Amino acid sequence: MSKDEDFKISHVKLGVEGLDKQHKKILKDISNILTSSSEEDVLFLKKIQELKKIMFKHYETEEKFMKDNSYTEHDAHKSEHNKLKKLIEELETETANGNISLCRRYELLEILLKGLLLQIHRYDKQMIDFLYHKYEDKFFS
């Protein structure tokens, strides 16, 4: 990973340690897969399957966090998760079927990376802001 990529990833922080660690891991994994996307299908597929597992676990954690805290935008946020879940599944399926070009790999990985960054900067940030305001009296009085 380049210093520039590491810099970008280090600035994707919400202030919630567990979520920040998961985001950093997912972003680093996507970046590493992008640099190795020309690998043969079997190795590439294995990396995509591991990324999918990590992403789905992260979304499960985040969705439980939202539900436990009665986040009012839970359904909309979950809908955004579902878009990226569908994308990683599409990448996995196309790779497993052996009918994906190198160009298509890059395209889907770039869309996935941009979508994840948007989710973190917009939707996750909104969630954290909501929780901050919901609980600020408990922590800042």
DSSP-assigned letters across all residues of 21-56: HHHHHHHHHHHHHHHTTTS-HHHHHHHHHHHHHHHH
User: Cβ(87)–Cβ(111) under 8 Å?
Assistant: yes
**Which residues have a Cβ under 8 Å from the Cβ of 78 and sit 6 or more positions away?**
59, 63, 66
Q: What is the CATH number of domain 3-134?
A: 1.20.120.50
Parse the chain into domains and list their residue ranges.
Answer: 3-134
Torsion sign across C-alpha atoms 70, 68, 128, 108: negative
CA pair distance 47, 55, nearest whole angstrom: 12
What tens digit of pLDDT does each residue of 85-133 get?
A: 999 999 999 999 988 898 999 999 999 999 999 999 999 999 999 988 8
Task: For residue range 39-91, list pLDDT tens digits in order.
Answer: 788 889 999 999 999 999 999 999 998 999 999 999 999 999 999 999 999 99
- Give the model's confidence band at 8: pLDDT under 50 very low, under 70 low, under 90 confident, else very high: low
Q: Which residues contact 132 (CB under 8 A, 6 or more apart)?
A: none
